A and B are shown apart, each in its own frame.
Chain A
Amino acid sequence: MVENLLEVKDLWVEVEGREVLRGINLTIPLGETHIIFGRNGSGKTSLLMTIMGFPTYKVKHGQILFKGEDITKMPPYERAKKGIGIMFQRPPTIKGVKVREILKLISKENGAKIEELARAFQFEGFLGRELNKGFSGGELKKSELLQLLIQDPQLVLLDEPESGVDLENIHLIGQMIRKLLQKDLHRKRTKSGLIITHTGFILQYVPADLGYVIMNGEIYCKGNPLEIFEGIQKFGYEGCQQCLKRCEF
Chain B
Amino acid sequence: MAEHLLDIKSFKSAKEAQIPEDLSGLSPEEQERLKLLGLDEKLPHEGEYVQIDAKPILCKRKVEGLEIMPISKALKTFDRIGDYFWKALSPEKDEFTKATAEDLDDGYFIRVLPNHKLIYPVQTCLYIRTDNIAQKVHNIVIVEEGAELNLVTSCSVHPNIGSALHIGISEFYVKRGGKLTFTMVHMWAENIAVRPRTGILVEEGGTYISTYVSLFPVKSIQSAPVCRLLGPSATASFISIIVNHKDSHIDLGSEVYLEGEDTRTEIISRNVVYGGKNIARGKIVAKAPKVKGHLECQGLMLSDEGLMMAIPELDSYYSDVELTHEAAVGKIAREEVEYLMARGLTEEEATSLIVKGFLSVKIEGLSPELQKQIDKTLELAKLGF
Contact = CB atoms under 8 A, between A and B. Distances in A.
Interface of A: 52, 54-55, 75-77, 80-81, 85-86, 88, 91-92, 94-97, 101-102, 105-106, 109, 130, 147, 151
Contact of B354 (A81, A91, A94): A94
B237 to A, nearest CB: 18
28 contacts: A55-B338, A75-B341, A76-B342, A77-B343, A77-B347, A81-B344, A85-B343, A86-B342, A88-B339, A92-B333, A92-B336, A94-B336, A95-B358, A96-B357, A96-B360, A97-B356, A97-B360, A101-B353, A102-B343, A102-B353, A105-B344, A105-B353, A106-B343, A106-B344, A109-B344, A130-B357, A147-B343, A151-B343
B341 A97 contact: no
Interface in B322-376: 333, 335-336, 338-347, 349-350, 353-354, 356-361
A94 B357 contact: yes
Contacts of A106: 343-344
A77 B344 contact: yes
Contact of A80 (B344, B347, B356): B344
Contacts of A95: 357-358
Given A76-B338, A97-B354, 11 more contacts: A77-B350, A80-B343, A88-B339, A92-B333, A94-B340, A94-B354, A96-B356, A96-B359, A97-B353, A102-B343, A106-B344
A147 B354 CA distance: 17
Contacts, number: 67
A95 B339 CA distance: 13
A61 B336 CA distance: 27
Interface in B74-126: none
A80 B339 contact: no
Among A55, A75, A95, A102, chain B packs the most CB atoms within 10 A around the CB of: A95
Interface of B: 333, 335-336, 338-347, 349-350, 353-354, 356-361
Contacts of B344: 77, 80-81, 105-106, 109, 151
Contacts of A101: 353
A79 B43 CA distance: 43
Given A77-B345, A77-B346, A105-B345, A94 B353 contact: yes
A191 B174 CA distance: 63
A66 B152 CA distance: 54
B183 to A, nearest CB: 18
Contacts of B354: 94, 97
Contacts of A75: 341, 347
Contacts of A92: 333, 335-336, 339
Contacts of A77: 341-347, 350
A105 B353 CA distance: 10
Contacts of B361: 96
Contacts of B359: 96
A59 B335 CA distance: 19
By Cβ-Cβ distance, the 3 closest A-B pairs, closest first, are: A96-B357, A96-B360, A97-B357
Contacts of A85: 342-343
Contacts of A109: 344
B328 to A, nearest CB: 12
A96 B354 CA distance: 8
A76 B347 CA distance: 9
A77 B346 CA distance: 6
Nearest to B344: A80
A15 B359 CA distance: 33
A85 B343 CA distance: 7
A185 to B, nearest CB: 25
Nearest to A103: B343
Contacts of B339: 88, 91-92, 94
B340 A52 contact: no
A96 B343 contact: no
Contacts of B343: 77, 80, 85, 102, 105-106, 147, 151
A76 B341 contact: yes
B23 to A, nearest CB: 35
B315 to A, nearest CB: 30
B242 to A, nearest CB: 15
A97 B353 CA distance: 7
